[in-house]
Amino acid sequence: MAEGNGEVVEEMANQKSGEGGDGERTQDYSKLLEYGLNLSVASRLDAIYKTGKLAHSELDERALDALKEFHVEGALDVLDQFLDSNLEHVSNKSAFLCGVMKTYRQKVRATQQGQPAPAVTVQAKGPDEEKIKAILERTGYTLDVTTGQRKYGGPPPNWTGNTPGNGCEVFCGKIPKDMYEDELIPLFEKCGKIWDLRLMMDPMTGTNRGYAFVTFTSRDAASNAVRELNNYEIKPGNCLKINVSVPNLRLFLNDYEIRNGKKIGVTISFNNHRLFVGNIPKNRDRDELLEEFAKHAPGLVEVIIYSSPDDKKKNRGFCFLEYESHKAASLAKRRLGTGRIKVWNCDIIVDWADPQEEPDEQTMSKVKVLYVRNLTQDTSEDKLKESFEQFGRVERVKKIKDYAFVHFEDRDNAVKAMKDLDGKEIGGSNIEVSLAKPPSDKKKKEEILRARERRMTQFLQTRIGLVNMSPQHAGMMPGAMPPMRVPSGPGGPRAPMRGGPMGGRGEYGK
């Protein structure tokens, strides 16, 4: 018998008789040894069991397997950090332990690459647990803590309504590192009923990331939060500038004072359910694309394609994938964007679609312009004007490639035309007609486009560099009909930015 196995047998015998090691073992200690954990690691984990902060039944195979893969010193460090953590509101301790292990690996990797790795932070001020307890008792909500976020609520107790949709969530930025739910919840409760509040945490430092997302049960409450908490000061002279969050395309805006002049930012947050996918074969239709992309990630509900003006049987080389939730879209983006998945032997490009911020009902109630798409190349502006003018006076028609904007003099006539002509055939194609969106903030749109350009440039530089892109698919890039030409320069290749209406209502010019 090998020496190591002999030690295990002896250790197991000692624990059964209550002898050796750190004294009396728990009844689960032998299970750790049988699972293959190192003696020292099993002993440390068993010692945690005896504190009552963790039970063996709360650990799943994923956590135990991860501990087995760690070197002994690292595993012991991880378990010490876990023991020092505040686990009062941690519902899934196994996942929390996995999070601690992931953070430990990231720090080790950063150190090996010569990057400064932040030390484990002992928080100078944590949340007031008595206040949090009082809030939970008063509301009946729960607080679930992981290494990445602290989530309060969702849904409220005994909730019978629908799940909140777009426009019900706000983003809160510039939160002090020592601010928690005990202060945030009373602040936002004044604006309306909270569905959930998610304070994002930095596992590398143990502090919050300085921002949170608050979902309300109604859009009115969310709008009230932006109105009431905008420009709310926390500490002197700290203002939040308008910016765009690239990873998930939530908009970061506005300020509100809480402590001595420092300001938090609060704005409506739009969950993005839509992905942009480029470099797809142009001869594939919607149903084929839906079947293909549904194989790679769950939750796909729709595929949006745009036909080529020259050949209605072909798409433009890109599509949009609509998922049932932001979580499903995020999972699909991770899977499709690895570079390992090919679609009909094509290297696809995956990115978030530009956020579609819908105008409010009051704004749309004044619109007299129709957005008409799926037009053929032969359909002229005069032909369109003739078709729509039977419903009332048309001031002008502006056609752009395979879509157009029809400006009516009277809104009622525009609505009648939309209802009657949507789906009808004009110029050999069944057209789609909807109310157009009024022009959005040009500065905001430019920020979104610049952010997309940076992401696409980085993608091209790091993965495919356009060298292996087939000519027939080079024109798939956003807003590009002809084969893509990539001008070189000091910053490397530059991807063109997407323009034109891409899903939903078209946006007409002023």
Instruction: Report residue 365's pLDDT band, with 50, 70 and 90 as the boundaries.
Output: confident
pLDDT at 166: 74
| Distance spanning both ends of the chain, measured CA to CA | 85
pLDDT at 235: 53
pLDDT at 465: 44
* Threshold 0.75, pTM exceeds: no
Say how far apart CA 336 and CA 298 lie, in whole Å.
Answer: 12
Question: Is residue 42 left, alpha or beta, with left meaning phi > 0 and alpha meaning psi from -120 to 50?
Answer: alpha
Domain 129-244 has CATH 3.30.70.330: yes
Domain map of the chain by residue range? Answer: 28-113, 129-244, 250-357, 364-435
Please give the CATH superfamily to which domain 250-357 belongs. RRM (RNA recognition motif) domain (3.30.70.330)
Q: Where are the beta strands (DSSP E) in 289-382?
A: 300-307, 315-323, 342-343, 346-347, 349-352, 369-373
pLDDT at 305: 87
DSSP string, 73-86: HHHHHHHHHHHHS-
> Does residue 495 have a pLDDT over 80?
no
CATH annotation of 364-435:
3.30.70.330
Is the dihedral angle over the CA atoms 187, 188, 189, 195 positive or is it negative? negative
Q: What is the mean pLDDT of the chain?
A: 76
Give yes or no on whether 129-244 and 250-357 have one common fold: yes
> Does residue 503 have a pLDDT over 80?
no
Say how far apart CA 493 and CA 277 lie, in whole Å.
Answer: 19
Instruction: Report residue 314's pLDDT band, with 50, 70 and 90 as the boundaries.
Output: confident
